[in-house]
Amino acid sequence: MNKEGKKEEIGDRFQQETKYHRGRLPAWHLDWASKPESYKRYPAAPKVQLEPPNLEGGASLWEVLRSRRSVRHFKDEPMTKSELSQLLWAAQGITNHESGFRTAPSAGALYPVETYLVVNSVADVEPGVYHYAVDKHELEQLRAGDLRLSVAQAALDQEMAYHANVIFIWTAVFERSRWKYEQRAYRYVYLDAGHIAQNVALAAVALNLGSCQIGALYDDEVNALIGVDGVEEGVVYMTAVGKEE
């Protein structure tokens, strides 16, 4: 029970039990030999090459911020592959290959979040499930086929996921953060995912696309759709992107 006599639920306990207290910080002794890799690869998966991102010009940041809204209705019109490339780079593109730093911040530069896609309608990209290989700026095809109904059902039956051009699915490889931050890592994982999703939301506006972030989802259904175990790696966030009506 808490001070008000109410039963403490798991969210309440999580918030309290992962607090830092002055003078009682964890004594970190990092085992560098066991540090997880900062990104995944699917070596046997078919690859889809993406155009280099456009790093010049574009819409004003202040105009983009003013214009950002959640969009749930999309045109029946394909997204271009170059637009998808730009969105992926905005999400997690590497900005410095020596350091591995990316477009979105990450606690300790550990980058626990992986980007997957369900492609519904993108020109020159076959419908299916893909993984974004950040180091190569390319897609790795994990499943082929029209999965718009499956992803919409997994997204708590939200129709916008059926009609969107592409659904971004972000997972966390929890050990990447847990290796250093232990139980506090879970806070950072969700913050990291939020930074990434906001980058995509702003990039969508700059490309005259619409987006809507999705936190309400059937975890196990999404995990099964993209082929992760839901324990060592599990879905934390999604975003639907498409041509705005």
- Residue 29 lies inside a defined structural domain of this protein: no
pLDDT for 25: 84
pLDDT for 29: 85
- Residue 151 lies inside a defined structural domain of this protein: yes
- Residue 47 lies inside a defined structural domain of this protein: no
- Residue 80 lies inside a defined structural domain of this protein: yes
pLDDT for 1: 59
- Residue 7 lies inside a defined structural domain of this protein: no
Range of the domain at 86: 53-243
CATH of the domain at 76: 3.40.109.10
pLDDT for 217: 98
pLDDT for 125: 98
pLDDT in tens, 39-52: 999 999 999 999 99
pLDDT for 26: 80
- Residue 163 lies inside a defined structural domain of this protein: yes
What is the pTM for the complete model shown?
0.94
- Residue 21 lies inside a defined structural domain of this protein: no
- Count of structural domains, the chain: 1
- Residue 173 lies inside a defined structural domain of this protein: yes
pLDDT-flagged residues of the chain (< 70): 1-4
pLDDT for 167: 98
pLDDT for 33: 94
3-state SS of the chain? CCCCCCCCCHHHHHHHHCCCCCCCCCCCCCCHHHCCCCCCCCCCCCEEECCCCCCCCCCCHHHHHHHCCECCCECCCCECHHHHHHHHHHHHCEEECCCCEECCCCHHHCCCEEEEEEECCECCECCEEEEEECCCCEEEEEEECCCHHHHHHHCCCCCHHHHCCEEEEEEEEHHHHHHHHHHHHHHHHHHHHHHHHHHHHHHHHHCCEEEEEECCCCHHHHHHHHCCCCCCEEEEEEEEEEEEC
